[in-house]
Amino acid sequence: MNAHILKLISAYTTNEISKKQFNDLQQWLNESVENKQMFANYLHFYKKSRRIGLAENLDSDKAWNTILVKLKEPLQLAAAAKKQDFKEPSKPIPLRRKAWFKYTAAAVVVGILASGYFFRDNFFSKSIDDNDNTPIIVNNNIQTGTDKATLTLSDGSEVALEKGQKYVANNLSSNGEEIIYEVASTTKPEITYNYLTIPRGGQFHIILSDGTEVWLNSESQLKYPVAFINGESRQVELVYGEAYFDVSPSTEHNGAIFKVLTKMQEVEVLGTEFNIKAYSDENSIYTTLVEGKVVLDIGVEKETLKPNQQSIVHLNNKSISVISIDVYDEISWKNGIFSFKSKSLKDIMKVLSRWYDTEVVFLNKDLEDVKFIGVLSKKQNIEDILLTIKNTNFINAYEIHKNTIILK
């Protein structure tokens, strides 16, 4: 987000946007869905302070249509001004207040888009009573997550991979942030496997011997061949956790397809990008397709996914459901961002607990189901994030005792 765009959004919010600025803003919005979502999120947030009148949920198409209508207002007002058809407000805003409003709007834009935002999904719901809201911190041992993993070789030996430390073997190398296997294949009938295990509070990037890239989230494990067999399907297993795959096309490997196994699910691809979330403590497996085509097979049922679709494998009844989604919210974790859209605080804290390697206790169980919208940086320390959540006025306070977070 550059300074020019920040200035455009600020000018729009204060009704001081020129025709050229408005055209620049529209051009930026049309560049990507992410830009539209960011702008929609900002307007939705700004509604809380009653600076704009946007009543719909930003997740719906109706909300975006409302935003587009509002975007036309400055030009409509300009045209009306030329015809002298519009009426002056009965109580003009004093110049000092207008200037204050302008700089406040700019500050809010910078604050939200640079460091993230977090607010209640329903702004008009009643907040909790503000009692005893002073945070209590006792020996805060919670650290921000970083690049780290454990590599288990075929002989069972383990190698700790940590940021800033190099490791080199015959067919692989690591700089502590990623591990790269040499481009290779084999004709031997027996495959040699390695495991890459990511602990809580960690993440890692791996390039397999066929050129496929995999980003692994916290608390995840991947089983994969050191080299794939020529002419046979390339197969890896996401033992548990979450991983984003950018698969080397089958056309570069004599048509050999790529498969990802998880518990109760097999994903077959030809060359594509997708995300799989299969944590051991969850009752569903989520597969999100970004590009290309994948086929899911759970034995009793098959489904083919298109881009911007997500399959949900329900482990309890062994069934699959498919929904359309905004993939940005599902894959932003690999780009250093937490993006939550109408997520319960319980689910949000589960995600944060993995990255910060912490335990979370809800003293007020009603808070678990409160839904929020937010974008947070994975580089933020946990105290900043908790303070941001607290400032929504839907939790009274929080405590940190060593590696445990208590929400009140």
Note whether 172 and 310 are same-domain residues.
yes
* Gap between the terminal Cα atoms of the chain: 35
If asked whether residues 316 and 401 sit together in one domain, one would say no
Residue type, 317: N
Answer yes or no: do 280 and 216 share one domain. yes
pLDDT at 240: 98
* Cβ-proximal residues to 94 (8 Å cutoff; 6+ apart), any chain: none
Q: How confident is the model at residue 50 (pLDDT cuts 50, 70, 90)?
A: very low
% of residues, the chain, pLDDT over 70: 74
Report which residue type is found at 320: I
Residue 391: pLDDT band (50, 70, 90) is confident
User: Which CATH number characterizes residue 364's domain?
Assistant: 3.55.50.30
Lowest average pLDDT, out of 86-95, 165-174, 235-244, 385-394, goes to 86-95
> Which residue in 231, 206, 245, 223 sits closest to 331, CA to CA?
245
Q: Could you give the CA distance from residue 286 to residue 327 in angstroms, rounded to a whole number?
A: 12
Mean pLDDT for the stretch of residues 340-347: 89
Cα(37)–Cα(327) distance, integer angstroms: 12
Pair 289, 385 in one domain: no
What the block records as the tokens of 302 is: 């098959």
Residue 318: C-alpha distances to residues 45, 262, 314 (Å): 39, 14, 6
| Closest listed residue to residue 245, CA positions, set 224, 282, 271 | 271
Kindly state whether residue 125 falls inside one of the protein's structural domains. no
Tell me: the pLDDT tens digits for 303-327?
Answer: 999 999 999 999 999 999 999 998 9
Tell me: do 324 and 355 sit in the same domain.
Answer: no
Residues whose CB falls within 8 Å of the CB of residue 198, separated by 6 or more in sequence, listed in order: 148, 149, 204, 216, 217, 218, 219, 220, 221, 241
Residue 401, Cβ density class (10 Å: 0-12 exposed, 13-18 middle, ≥19 buried): middle
299 in the same domain as 180? yes
Domain CATH number, residue 206: 2.60.120.1440
pLDDT in tens, 112-149: 444 555 666 654 444 445 455 677 887 888 999 999 99
- Are 185 and 211 contacting, i.e. CB atoms less than 8 angstroms apart? no
Q: At residue 381, does pLDDT exceed 80?
A: yes
Note whether 326 and 343 are same-domain residues: no
Q: At what angle are helices 19-31 and 33-47 packed, to 10 degrees? A: 120
Give the residue-averaged pLDDT of 154-175: 94
- Domain count of the fold of the chain: 3
Condensed to tens digits (0 to 9), the pLDDT of residues 58-112 reads: 344 454 455 455 554 444 444 443 344 333 333 333 333 334 344 444 444 434 4
pLDDT of residue 159: 97
Q: Are residues 181 and 238 in the same domain?
A: yes
- Residues 168-188: tens digit of each pLDDT: 998 999 999 999 999 877 777
Q: How far is the C-alpha of 62 from the C-alpha of 80, rounded, in Å?
A: 26
In a domain, 321, yes or no: yes
pTM of the model: 0.72
Query: Do 184 and 317 sit in the same domain of this protein?
Result: yes
Residue 86 confidence (pLDDT): 38
Same domain, 327 and 378: no
Q: Where are the beta strands (DSSP E) in 183-297?
A: 185-186, 193-198, 202-207, 213-216, 220-225, 228-229, 234-246, 258-262, 265-269, 273-278, 284-291, 294-297
Binned at pLDDT 50, 70 and 90, residue 262 comes out as: very high
Name the pairing type of β-strands 185-186 and 265-269: unpaired
Among residues 339, 343, 265, 272, the alpha carbon closest in space to that of 308 is found at 272
Which of 58-62, 199-203, 341-345 is predicted with the least confidence, judged by mean pLDDT? 58-62
Q: Tell whether the model's pLDDT for residue 246 goes beyond 50.
A: yes
Which is more confident, 219 or 10?
A: 219
**Residue 45 and residue 67: Cα distance in Å, rounded?**
13
Determine the structural domain holding residue 116 and report its residue range: 3-120
pLDDT (mean) for 39-47: 60
How large is the greatest C-alpha to C-alpha distance in the chain, in angstroms? 84
Q: Assign 52 a pLDDT band (cuts: 50, 70, 90).
A: very low
The answer, yes or no, to whether residue 57 has pLDDT greater than 50, is no
Q: Which residues pair with 224 in a beta bridge?
A: 194
112 and 192 in a single domain? The answer is no
* 356-366 per-residue burial string, b: 16 or more CB within 10 A, e: under 16: bbbebebeeee
Q: Provide the 8-state DSSP code for 85.
A: -
369: DSSP letter = G
**Edge-to-edge strand order for the sheet containing 371-377?**
116-120, 371-377, 337-344
* Across 228-242, average pLDDT: 94
Q: How far apart are CA 240 and CA 220, in angstroms?
A: 5
* Cα distance between residue 181 and residue 161, in whole Å: 14
Q: What's the average model confidence in pLDDT over 212-220?
A: 98
Answer with the residue of higher pLDDT: 18 or 400: 400
